[in-house]
Chain A
Amino acid sequence: MEMDRESGKLEQIVSQFRSKILHVILDSRVPSLHRQQQESLSLSRVRKTDKWFNLVLGDRPPALENLNFSLRNLLDPMVIDIILIRHGSCSSSVDNLYAPSAAAAGPSTETVIERWVVQYDCPRVFATPSGADAAVFYKKIYKKCILLLRSLYSQMRLLPAYRICRQLSLLSQTYNFDLVYKVSSFSHPFSREEEDGMKEYSFTPVEALPGCLCVSVTYRATLSDFNLEPLVSLPPKIITDYVGSPTTDPMRSFPSSKTGAHATSFPSTGLRPPSSAPFQRPHSWSSGFHRGFPPTKTQSLAGSPPAYCTSRKPYDITSPPTDLYGNRIQNHRVSTLQQATAYDEYKLSPPFSTSASPSTPTYLSGANPLLTRHCSETAPVTIPLTGRSTRYLSSNSSDPNRHSLPPLSPRSSKHDASSQESPSGIRSYRKIEGLRAGESPSGLSNLYSAPKVVRDSKDDSGRFSGLLSSSGSPRIGFSRSSSRLSFQDDIDDCEFSCPFDVDDVDVSDSSSRNTESKRASEFTAQSNLVGKKSQDAAVGILVHMLRTAPPLRQDSSCYSTHSLKTEYDGGAGVASGFFLPRKTADALEELNSYREMKDLLLSKSATQAVRKEGKK
Chain B
Amino acid sequence: MDLQSYMPVPPGIRMEENFFSLDDILLSHERLPCRTESAFPRLGFLEKSSETRDIPEGTKMEMPLWLAKGLYERKRQVLSVELPKVYREEWRTVFGADPIVVDLHKMGPYYYGLGSQMLHFDSPENPEIANTILQTFIGRFRRTMDSSQNAYNEDTSALVERLDCLERSLFRAGQSGLNGFQLWEKGRSSHLTASSLVINYRKRKIADLQA
A binds B: no
Q: Which A residues are within 8 Å of any B CB, using their own CB? A: none
